[in-house]
Structure 1
Amino acid sequence: MAETLSTFTLKAADKAPDFVLPDPSGTKHSLQDLTGSNGTLIVFVCNHCPFVVMLAEELGRFAKRCKEAGIEVVAISSNDIEKYPQDGPEKMAEFAAKSGWDFPYLFDETQEVAKAYGAACTPDFFLFGADRGLFYAGQFDDARPKNGVTPNGADLQLAIDEMLAGEAAPSRQLPSSGCNIKWIEGNEPPYFG
């Protein structure tokens, strides 16, 4: 039986669900096009969540190190933009530029991709190996707004190091912590609530 990680849908080694999503300019990107030679990190985020805002710049720096290691990074926003217009595509482009993100930031308007991954909060991190099998689903690090810890991605970096070394998935996979994804009314997944 596959080990359950801190995701409500995927199990260890499950393949990353495929998607085709637009960036803020409307250009569509597929998971296949965004898969790195050594893996892919998919992060569910939004613009207004204080947990995301707190680590946004560090995530930009972290993503550069990932790219050097052959791991592509993709951010996805799945929030209801009717109720949270600050999370819409136009604001996404501004947020990414301000945060120093040079990786795709995609919009999941139907929220189906978030459901397929079992994403629950922003930020929510999913690390897949070169074979697109889930290796890690959990927190970036112990930093939280106002707890005095500077974001550094320690937990995620440990998982990446172990994955690249061919080791087993880390036994310590603490769930991501953040704001709930803002589901469109009536579109909430079974694991929400």
Structure 2
Amino acid sequence: MAAIPPLCDFGWKALDANLIGADSQRHSILAQAGHNGLVVAFICNHCPYVKAVIQRIVRDASDLKKLGVGFVAINANDAAAYPADSFKNMQLFSRENAFPFHYLHDADQTVARAYGAVCTPDFFGFNANAELQYRGRLDGSRKQEAIADLRRDLFEAMQQVALSGQGPREQLASVGCSIKWRENV
């Protein structure tokens, strides 16, 4: 079932955590920031929404790095109930898609809960002061293949953040599969 997160709570401060990455090393979320900002993306391995856009996520993360905006992805899904989202499969998914960013495992789901993540994909774009400026979609493609001239919502918003420190006031929410929460938490 598709889930839709709330729109941007401008100025909300990014939270840090130290999580294990698909590279088997621990990484601080905030250490992934560039000098102009950071995108924190909640994704997973099995979601058809993520699978449909993963190459565009990779492209946008690479393009944002050139603008001084860092990128990190986090998988918080319950791997016991959804084995396709296991740590081992995270490693495979990140290699298969040549992630130019760290893919972190939020095994106890505390980071996803603290951020208020709702779906995969769910994007949080922060400025250089770690203040939330974007909580919207990657683009308008949803689960379909993108048309050639599709507007790059996340990229354009974070480009604006890199230049001005402020995100666009009009944003369209991301849509995706709901986060697969552990039941006995």
Alpha-carbon shift at residue 145 of structure 1 (Å): 1.7
2:10 aligned residue: 12
For the Cα contact (< 8 Å) 1:9–1:117, is it kept in 2?
no
RMSD: 2.1
1:157 aligned residue: 155
* Aligned-partner residue type, residue 145 of structure 1: K
| 2:170 matches 1:181 | no
1:68 aligned residue: 66
TM-score (norm 1): 0.86
* CA-to-aligned-CA distance 1:41-91 (integer Å, 9 cap, x gap): 110000000000001111111111111111111000000000111111111
1:22 aligned residue: 20
1:132 aligned residue: 130
Which consecutive unaligned segments of at least 5 residues does structure 1 have?
1-5, 188-193
Which consecutive unaligned segments of at least 5 residues does structure 2 have?
none
Mapped to 2, the partners of 1:152 and 1:100 lie a distance apart of 23
Mapped to 2, the partners of 1:9 and 1:176 lie a distance apart of 9
Alpha-carbon shift at residue 146 of structure 1 (Å): 3.7
Identity of aligned residues (%): 37
Mapped to 2, the partners of 1:99 and 1:34 lie a distance apart of 19
2:101 aligned residue: 103
Displacement over 2 Å in runs of 4+: 6-11, 146-153
1:91 aligned residue: 89
* Aligned-partner residue type, residue 173 of structure 1: Q
Mapped to 2, the partners of 1:131 and 1:156 lie a distance apart of 18
Alpha-carbon shift at residue 171 of structure 1 (Å): 2.0
Mapped to 2, the partners of 1:148 and 1:158 lie a distance apart of 16
